[in-house]
Amino acid sequence: MRILVTGGAGFIGSAYVRRLLTGAEPGLAADTVTVLDAWTYAATEGALEPVRTDQRLRVVRGDIRDAALVDATVAGHDAVVHFAAESHVDRSIAAAADFVTTNVVGTQTLLDAALRHGVRRFVQVSTDEVYGSIATGAWTEQAPLDPSSPYSASKAAGDLLALAYHRTHGLDVVVTRGANTYGPYQYPEKIIPLFVTNLLDGHDVPLYGDGGNVRDWLHVDDHCHGIALAQTRGRAGGIYHLGSGAELTNRDLTGRLLAACGAGWERVRPVADRKGHDRRYALDCTTTRHELGWVPTVDLDHGLAATVAWYRDNRAWWTPLKPHR
């Protein structure tokens, strides 16, 4: 199978590529894996270093908004797994334009090329944030989309476009919506790598508002395995939720990271809450378990400990990515 992975040098996309090329997904025999990535600030060479010499890997530097490049790159592939996105909520609040053009126009450009070249499966990788906040219970796949930030609104638009190409043109599309994801090679602007690297460097960490916002934490390996199962087993037009059920308030998460890094609460600096900050996300994963046979396997305690250890042992990767203080 010839697989195109957009955003394959980013956090989750690179983990997917590594799993494909190291045999961690035996149900996906990849003859060729092409990474299409614009190498924005959140993409790094190091994330692909473990598989750099694999002869099946091909890397194309370019933007998914470049229609001519996308058309030439998509040609000859059996599947497109679409990770490429602007994804940081705070950045989308400050400047939304790149989020709209990348996450909406870029997705449409890929869909057009996939349709034109007869791609057999298009996987739209999305987020639980498209549903907005839920006070109790969990969102099902039939829940209305109610995004709160420019980021989540642009992802919701991309999802709807992908599903529309399935309904209008018959393109074989599946959508995955994942919970907050953590693990190695995550750019240190998201809460876990930001807090861990700050603490390892002896700096304070910023905690939004009262710290009571609740998130479900999913290890990147579990997330990628769910995407692989959706790629191979999902029904055309299906939406699949990927969540662990391991819910923590941001304050509880902060406490765990402080303990793991040997730091105390004096290192926590309260900051004003984010605009439009969703209080809680939660996904009902019943359909995913029944149709795909997916269950998360990485326990949160072990996953967080391994992640902290990875950042402690890989300063050479993340130190150049941190702003000078």
- Is 129 labeled as catalytic in the residue annotation? yes
Catalytic pick among 37, 128, 222, 247: 128
Catalytic pick among 151, 165, 240, 281: 151
- Is 141 labeled as catalytic in the residue annotation? no
Interatomic CA distance for residues 9 and 181, integer angstroms: 16
- Is 266 labeled as catalytic in the residue annotation? no
141 by Cβ neighbours in 10 Å (0-12 / 13-18 / 19+) ranks as: middle
User: Are 144 and 130 a contacting pair, CB within 8 Å?
Assistant: no
The SS3 of residue 34 is strand
Catalytic pick among 25, 86, 129, 216: 129
Side by side, which strands form the sheet with 32-37? 57-61, 32-37, 2-6, 79-82, 121-127, 173-178, 239-242
> Known catalytic residues?
128-129, 151
